[in-house]
Amino acid sequence: MAQRFRLKSVVLFSIVLPVIAGLVMLYTITHTKGHEGALMAGYYLLAFLFGGNPLIVAWIVGNTAGTTKKSVVMSLYNAASSSGNIVGPLLFNSADAPTYHPGLKGVLGIFVALAACTILQAANLVFLNRLQERKRVKNGKAAKLIDHSMEDTYHDADEQVDVDVGLAEGDEKAVARRHDRLGDHAFEDLTDRQNDEFVYIY
């Protein structure tokens, strides 16, 4: 879905919502024999979180460039994820059985925060793309670049020249100058902020 609709943030947000719904069900529904089915349904909704994990990693990798920067960011993610795996079980104490309300409340807060962070990060990436467009214009390039990163088919860099409405039709020298600049940084070890041709995916 994320690749088809090219909106990782929307898909991630949609995956988080069933988890929040499941936590709310486990927190609010009384633990009686007659509610076992509803409680089980709420518990099964928590499984959606496993769909979000690879999407988060793909989102991080797709929006980070530069070998060193990408290694540092992924190391920080792994450290934070491991810390969460350690802290998570500590939220649930046997004294809180059978409802475990304090633990459920803590986990619910975490997933509500994740949903909010997803929206904020999407807005941030839109803003960063606008900054990138300003950089490109300042460097004599087209403001808009077509992002083919989440498509199934290969696209040559020459296609960008054909759709560059900023160049006059028939101006072969302008096209040649444009082509010389586009893709120059493709194989350089630049970070996403250093490479003005980098397009953030949201």
Domain ranges of the chain: 1-202
**Which residue matches tokens 């991630």?**
12
Residue closest to 163 by CA, chosen among 182, 149, 150: 182
Q: Find the helix packing angle between 36-45 and 8-28, rounded to 10°.
A: 150
Q: With a threshold of 0.95, does the pTM exceed it?
A: no
pLDDT value of position 179: 42
Respond yes or no on whether the N-terminal peptide bond of residue 102 is cis (omega within 30° of 0): no
The answer to whether the beta carbons of residues 146 and 160 sit under 8 Å apart is yes
- The larger pLDDT score, comparing residue 88 to residue 172, is at 88
pLDDT in tens, 66-96: 999 999 999 999 999 999 999 999 999 999 9
Dist CA 35 CA 38 (whole Å): 5
What local confidence, expressed as pLDDT, does residue 167 receive? 46
Give the mean model confidence (pLDDT) for residues 113-127.
96
